[in-house]
Amino acid sequence: EVAGDEATLRGAYAVLEDHDWLTGVTPAGGADVIDLLVRNPDRWLGRKGIPFADVVDRELSALEKSKKSTPEAVEVARRLFGAGTSRAWYRKNLGIELINGKGDGSYFRTVESLLSRSTGGDWRVVVVDDAHNMTDAAENAFLKTLEEPPPNTLLVLVTSQPLSLLPTTLSRCARLVFDAIPVDPLAEFLHETQDVERPAATLLATLAEGSVGRALELRDIDFGSRLRFLEELLPAVAAGDLARCLALAGARVAAGGADTDNVRVAQRREASVLLDLLSLTFRDLALQTAAPDLRLASGLPADFVRSIAARQPVEVWEELFDRTGAAAADVRLSVEPRLAVEALFVDALPA
C-alpha cells in the first residue's frame, strides 16, 4: 500500500508523469488519482511501459537526484516499480506486452532496442512470458532475433501452450518442461512473498494447479465470499432443487460484471473461478465415500462437506465433477458464461 494524503499523492503523480514514469494516461481528479496510484497500477502503464527492469535502479537514482522531484515521488516510484511487484511488470519492462497487445510486429523495435543495448560483457536473460499470445505476424518478427540473438543473450519463451507457437519457432528452441509445483511449497510462496493469508494461499495454490503465474493472476480474488456462496448453493444441489441452483448460480455470474465496464469479460472470469471452485468441491464430495481422511481441496469446512456428501450417492458427485469440467471448457470456448454454468445443473443435477 502507498500511504499518503491526496495532495501528496497528486504531487507524486505529477512528478512521475513529468519524468515519463507514467505514460498514456490523463490524470483524473479527486479519489481517482489515489485509485490509479494505489489500487490499479496496471491501468496507467501506457505504450512506453515502465523503464526496463535492468535500469530501474538507475532511473530511481536519477529521479531521486532530480531538482524537480520530491521524496514522496521517489517513495511512490520505489513501491510501485520495485522488482517482483507482479508478473505484469516484467512483461511491460521487456516490451513483450507491446508485441502481444498489438500483435502486428510494428512494436517489435521495443524488444530490439532492449537487446541491442550494451551488457558490459555480462549475460542477459530475456524472458518472453506467455509467448503463445503473440500473433503470427509478431512471432515472425521475432524469428530473426531468435535465429541470431545478440552475444551473451539467452532468450526464454515461457508458454503453457507450446503447440500454439509456429513450427519455425519451435524448431529453433530447446524445450524444457517444468513439473507443476506442489501445493504446499506454492502456498508457502504466496503467503511469504505475496502476503496471502494461509487458508487462502492453500486454496489459491490448489486452483493454480502448480502454476505460479496462474496463482498470481488469481491472487486478487476474494475467495472468502465465493466459499460462502458455495455454502449457500450446495444444500440446494444436494436437495436437487434445480430452480434455486439456477437462481443462485445465475445471479453470482451476473454479479461478477456489476462493477466493471467490460461486463462480458468480468462475467467470464467469474464463471471460470466459480467452476474451478465447484470442480474442487465436487471432487471433495465424491471422495468422501472412498477416502474420507483425504485432505479437502475446496477450502470448505470438513463437517459441512461430510454432511452434504451424505445426501447423494457418490455417482451423483462424480457426474457433477465431470460436467463441471465440460462447463469450464465451454466457457473457454466463448459460450455465454451464465448459460454454461446453468447448463451444468440442468444436465447433471439429480431429479
DSSP per position, 95-148? THHHHHHH-SSTTTHHHHHHHHS--TTS-EEEEETTGGGS-HHHHHHHHHHHHS
For residue 80, the model assigns a pLDDT of 58
Q: What percent of the chain has pLDDT over 90?
A: 30
- Same CATH topology for 94-170 and 223-348: the answer is no
Residue 155 cell numbers, joined: 532468450
CATH topology of domain 94-170: Rossmann fold (3.40.50)
Render pLDDT for 77-130 as a digit per residue (tens, 0 to 9). 666 555 443 334 334 433 333 333 343 344 344 455 555 554 556 677 777 877
Whether the predicted pLDDT of 30 surpasses 50: no
- Could you tell me the residue ranges of all domains in the chain? 6-85, 94-170, 183-218, 223-348
Render pLDDT for 278-330 as a digit per residue (tens, 0 to 9). 999 999 999 987 788 888 999 999 999 999 999 999 999 999 999 999 999 89
Using the Cα atoms of residue 249, residue 196, residue 187 and residue 304 in order, give the sign of their dihedral.
negative
Q: How many CB atoms lie within 10 A of CB 90?
A: 17
Domain 223-348 is of which CATH architecture? Up-down Bundle (1.20)
Q: Average pLDDT of the chain?
A: 75
CA angle at residue 288 from 286 to 290, to 5 degrees?
85
Using the Cα atoms of residue 305, residue 308, residue 309 and residue 310 in order, give the sign of their dihedral.
positive
In contact, 146 and 112? CB cutoff 8 Å: no
At residue 157, the 3 state secondary structure works out as: strand
N-terminal to C-terminal alpha carbon distance within the chain: 50
Whether the predicted pLDDT of 194 surpasses 60: yes
